[in-house]
Chains A and B, each alone.
Chain A
Amino acid sequence: MGTPDASTSEQSDLSTSVMAPTTEKKHRGLLQEIWHNFKKNRLSLAGGIIVMIAVALAVFAPVLSPHDPVKQFRDPPGQHSPLPPLSRSEEGALFLLGSDKFGRDILSRALYGCRTLLQLATGSITIALALGLLMGGVAGYRKGSWVDELIMRVVDVMLSFPTLVLAIALVGAFGIGKTDIGPITLSNMYKIAIVIAITYSPAFARVMRGVVLQEMAEDYVDAAKMSGGAGWQILTGEIFVNTIPPMIVQASLNMATTVLTSASLSFLGLGLQPPRPSLGIMLNEARDYLFGGAWWYPLVPGFFILLIILGFNLLGDGLRDSLDPRQARRTQL
């Protein structure tokens, strides 16, 4: 063929791209691509909406709550707390979803409970993700070295404990009150977040290590070495961006179990402490009334926990499918 000028080279370049699955015509950005895949799946869209509703309830809890969540109202004459939905206190306060055994508004407490639960879960997932990325990234990049061995054996040991048992043990070690570490005072909430993060970080570390190993086998890593990248530059600059999609999926799937663990700790009296509104504590208090006719008492916090977990599970599944179709097929096998 003759000397190629710009136009002929583009033409022939286009002709080869016909074979490639993504043609130039669509020209969608990465995020649009993900959104396009995501919205095709109805269930995951529903999950996303549920999560958004839960987050909105949590964020706007102070506005949405009809009453102060810790205020104890007096029982009207002739009636005893817990009061059924739509009843009124002696002061005339309306309990939309009933009151608890101390005469507090269940709806307000549940909304604030969502708030603390989501704060706790998000905080601990973030810390767990950071710890996991660090441990798994280093272990994967230094595969076979003593660092890898050390990290992965610690991870193995931690994973061999049931999550809740490990969390209870850690709470036992750290206590449930405030702790002063030098100038920093860790409140109960921060401590629980850290405890949950520690119990979940091994799972992230293991996934991260696998992803890093997989990416290290790719040619672009060799290409980066050939252009003179240092080990840490390649890990942080080349490999790390490619681990984000699977790690997001992992985080959103783990979000559901983190919510459950936080609620369980509170239920056991090892998490947030009363009178702080917490869905776990509410369930614990409602235990005595399970068969006593006060059906609304356990139902409301239970429903909110269910909603949040369901939402995150659906969302996580959907994200997995849309971020990495290959991964989805692999996990189905």
Chain B
Amino acid sequence: MSRVFRWESKVKYSRLLEISDLVTRFHTEEGVVKAVDGNSMHLDAGETLGIVGESGCGKTVTALSIMGLIENPGRIESGSILFRGDELLDKTPQEMQEIRGKEIAMVFQDPMNSLNPTLTVGDQIDRVLDFHTPLSRTEKRKRAIELLRQVEMPEPEKRLDNYPHQLSGGMRQRVLIAMALSCNPIVLILDEPTTALDVTIEAQIFELVDKLKAQYDMGIILITHDLSVVANSCDRVIVMYAGRIVEEAPVIDLYEDPLHPYTRGLLNSIPQLDKEEERLPSIPGEVPELINLPEGCNFSPRCQEAKERCPHDDPPLVKVGPGRRIACWMDNGA
């Protein structure tokens, strides 16, 4: 049933998400945290968008804003999130609940704790199906086995009756992906899906995600702090720093010709086997606190190429090429 519906809808909207000027702030006792500060981005069907940045740069808050799960003291102050042309910020909590898990699904950072320890794998998949579908018991079981098979879980019939503690980290992440896929989502958000996993498992998970993306024809947002992950699995990359987008580029362009000094710094700090280096270069300093951001460009205190105007004027995010945007005075024609 949903197949037909989705096929029709896809013809209408190849642009799945259109976020413009999103501002999400947390009003804490210490002050206002500008977690997401006026960002615009979009996601098309069938593409993987990577969002990269250090911890606390607003990646996860962006994802939670899309999901409508910003909780007190946080608030989405302004902006718009269009999901297939529909304004998500105008939806009632009930309508958002319908969308979550069914149209937009999210896989969480930590597979160790994201599964309910007292329910079997099968029960947990059933519950997501219960939220959104009227399937019967046997139908749900069939669907759960099908899902586990799709995420390449060995012996899906047997695993269905396992508890999370009987599974390894990689298997748990597969279960979480299966749960996210259970209602044929249109957008899948993966929030650091492999941070807690081994490198070998990481590679397997991403291969799986790529395969499923084609199979389900979803748009994927991949949130990570690991640029090497992005290189292998994303089509387009957004680099965020202190709540703002500093650079956006197709993945190949970003690696071949990073424009923003921050992006260059990030790329330089990836260890490379073909170069012999005494010490891995790193970006000096720390991410500024989001409560008191520096004046001017947020990155200027750490930027080695900062010019005179950088600490005073905020660089706007401007288009510099096909699919490329950058927020820096330097490469801006300035």
Contact = CB atoms under 8 A, between A and B. Distances in A.
Contact of A22 (B165, B169, B180): B165
A242 B118 contact: yes
A237 B128 CA distance: 11
B127 interface: yes
B113 A228 contact: no
A107 to B, nearest CB: 45
Interface in A13-49: 13-17, 20, 22, 24, 27, 30
A220 B179 CA distance: 12
A12 interface: yes
A333 interface: no
A30 B171 CA distance: 19
A219 B113 contact: yes
B108 A222 contact: yes
A273 B300 CA distance: 84
Interface stretch (B82-90, B96-104, B137-145): B96-104
Contacts of A228: 97-102, 128, 131-132
A1 B203 contact: yes
A12 B204 contact: yes
Nearest to A239: B116
Interface of A is mostly: helix
A3 interface: yes
B170 A16 contact: yes
Contact of A227 (B109, B113, B179): B179
Contacts, number: 114
B106 interface: yes
A153 interface: no
Interface string B128-152: 1011100000000000000000001
B195 interface: no
B141 to A, nearest CB: 17
B18 interface: no
B94 to A, nearest CB: 8
Contacts of A1: 200, 203
B150 to A, nearest CB: 13
B95 to A, nearest CB: 11
Interface in A272-317: none
B125 to A, nearest CB: 10
A223 interface: yes
Contacts of B152: 4, 6, 9
Interface string A187-223: 0000000000000000000000000000000111011
Contact of A10 (B99, B154, B197, B200): B154
Nearest to B109: A219
Contacts of B97: 228-230
A225 interface: yes
B69 interface: yes
B200 A12 contact: yes
Given A227-B128, A242-B117, A12 B110 contact: no
B168 to A, nearest CB: 4
Contacts of B117: 220, 242
A226 interface: yes
A27 B119 CA distance: 15
Interface string A241-277: 1101000000000000000000000000000000000
Contact of B105 (A13, A224, A226, A241): A226
B101 A227 contact: yes
A144 B116 CA distance: 25
Contacts of B295: none
A238 interface: yes
Contact of B106 (A16, A24, A226, A230): A226
B169 A227 contact: no
B131 A220 contact: no
B227 interface: no
Nearest to B165: A22
Given A17-B169, A219-B113, A241-B119, 13 more contacts: A4-B207, A9-B154, A12-B198, A16-B197, A20-B168, A27-B166, A219-B114, A223-B115, A226-B69, A227-B179, A228-B128, A233-B127, A242-B118
Interface of B: 67, 69, 97-102, 105-106, 108-110, 113-119, 127-128, 130-132, 152, 154, 163, 165-171, 176, 179-180, 182, 197-198, 200-201, 203-204, 207
Interface of A: 1, 3-4, 6, 9-10, 12-17, 20, 22, 24, 27, 30, 218-220, 222-230, 233, 237-238, 241-242, 244
23 contacts: A4-B203, A4-B207, A9-B152, A9-B204, A13-B168, A14-B168, A16-B169, A16-B170, A16-B201, A17-B167, A24-B168, A27-B166, A218-B113, A219-B113, A219-B114, A222-B108, A227-B127, A227-B179, A229-B127, A230-B97, A241-B119, A242-B117, A242-B118
4 nearest A-B pairs in the assembled complex, by CB-CB distance: A228-B101, A227-B101, A17-B168, A219-B113
